[in-house]
């Protein structure tokens, strides 16, 4: 019965773990090439990421079969709704990770992830437009996930189909990033503080400009003034949030801590790309620092997540969580 209860309360937000591991894998893969590291560990991380994705997909599919009303509740939840897009984003990230290792598999994952993400974007935006219950305190940076996730699509997409398809998705993500960013900053400044369990989602603010830089770079084949604006805005947000690192680390552990992982991976990959294109030693040193920091973050998250699972503090009713 206890195991059934945990499955019933298995949250869709678990797929943020896949996003974190996939970003971590891609960051190490790019570092091994750009920094000419004498070893390769990214293939191991890739295997781990695929295993985690398969296990989480199996668990959530089983939940869908056995506890469909619980899935419907998440689909109607003003915060949890956005996390359904983490599944399609996970497929897109796996496509990027496999792009040069298995192009055919990468293409299949990209097509599947892109189609699912388009439907997710249309569904979530339709809910936003027609809702009757959402209030300003419901919005937080996790709302970026379904819409701004479109910015990821061109990174692998330009290798498979016409660049016009990738520009379509890039445009969606970029425009609505600015719209949502305005609303979120208004909510943060003029309304009550974000709930403690959702504070780690502030790191998601880093992802849109960092991923936007990487995606735009793939679309134009290099960097220009606009690319630099995207990168440096992401770098500033990273600096802003890292200066409050102690505040975030002292928070009680929730699954939302995984919001630290993918954005930090994104800015790490973006910094590696800046070094690759500029050759400036500053970016070499910064990329090395961010890669080490990212590795420490992932290791910490893994340890704390395993500890929380053992202590049965995850996959329980929210009012039971301690």
CA pair distance 149, 255, nearest whole angstrom: 20
pTM for the whole thing?
0.91
Distances from the Cα of 296 to the Cα of 25, 38, 39, 243, 271, angstroms: 14, 20, 19, 17, 18
**pLDDT the model gives residue 288:** 95
What's the CATH code of the domain at 235? Answer: 1.50.10.150
| Confidence (pLDDT) at 53 | 96
d(CA 223, CA 219): 10
Task: Report the C-alpha gap between 117 and 131 in whole angstroms.
Answer: 21
What is the extent of the structural domain holding 152? 2-320
What pLDDT does 26 receive? 96
Q: Rounded to an integer, what distance in angstroms lies between the CA atom of residue 251 and that of residue 159?
A: 41
Question: From the centroid of its chain, how far is CA 170?
Answer: 16
pLDDT in tens, the chain (322 residues): 556 667 888 888 899 999 999 999 999 999 999 998 889 999 999 999 999 999 999 999 999 998 889 888 888 888 888 899 999 999 999 999 999 899 999 999 999 999 999 999 999 999 888 877 788 888 888 888 999 899 999 999 999 999 999 999 999 999 999 999 999 999 888 888 888 888 899 999 999 999 999 999 999 999 999 999 999 999 999 999 999 888 888 888 888 899 999 999 999 999 999 999 999 999 999 999 999 999 999 999 999 999 988 887 776 666 544 3
pLDDT at residue 318, rounded to an integer: 63
pLDDT the model gives residue 310: 86
**Residue among 278, 270, 262 at smallest CA distance from 210:** 270
Helix or strand run (H / E) with residue 48: helix 42-66
**Structural contact between residues 79 and 142, judged by C-beta atoms closer than 8 angstroms:** yes
Name the domain count of the chain: 1
What's the burial of 160, exposed, middle or buried (CB within 10 Å: 0-12/13-18/19+)? middle
State the pLDDT at residue 159: 93
What are the phi and psi torsion angles at 29 (to 5°)?
A: -65, -45
């Amino acid at each position: 019965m206890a195991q059934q209860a945990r499955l019933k309360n298995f949250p869709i937000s678990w797929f943020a773990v896949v996003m974190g591991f996939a970003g971590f894998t891609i960051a190490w893969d790019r570092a091994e090439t750009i920094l000419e590291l004498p070893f390769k560990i990214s293939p191991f991380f890739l295997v781990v990421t695929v295993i985690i994705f398969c296990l989480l997909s199996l668990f959530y599919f089983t939940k869908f079969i056995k506890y469909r009303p619980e899935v419907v509740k998440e689909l109607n939840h003003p915060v949890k709704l956005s996390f359904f897009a983490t599944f399609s984003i996970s497929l897109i990230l796996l496509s990027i990770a496999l792009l040069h290792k298995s192009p055919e598999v990468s293409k299949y994952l990209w097509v599947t992830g892109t189609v699912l993400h388009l439907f997710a974007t249309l569904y979530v935006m339709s809910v936003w437009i027609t809702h009757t219950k959402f209030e300003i305190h419901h919005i937080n940076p996790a709302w970026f996930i379904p819409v701004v996730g479109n910015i990821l699509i061109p990174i692998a997409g330009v290798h498979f189909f016409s660049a016009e398809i990738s520009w379509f998705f890039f445009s969606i993500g970029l425009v609505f990033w600015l719209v949502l960013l305005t609303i979120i900053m208004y909510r943060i400044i003029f309304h009550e503080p974000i709930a403690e369990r959702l504070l780690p989602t502030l790191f998601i603010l880093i992802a849109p400009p960092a991923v936007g830089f990487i995606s735009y770079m793939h679309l134009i084949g290099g960097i220009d003034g606009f690319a630099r604006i995207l990168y440096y805005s992401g770098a500033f947000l990273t600096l802003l949030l890292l200066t409050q690192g102690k505040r975030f680390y002292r928070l009680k552990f929730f699954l939302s801590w995984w919001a630290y992982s993918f954005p930090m991976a994104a800015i790490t990959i973006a910094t590696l790309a800046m070094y690759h294109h500029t050759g400036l030693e500053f970016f070499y040193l910064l990329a090395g620092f961010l890669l080490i920091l990212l590795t420490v973050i992932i290791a910490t998250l893994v340890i704390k997540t395993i500890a929380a699972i053992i202590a049965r503090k995850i996959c329980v009713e929210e009012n039971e969580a301690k």
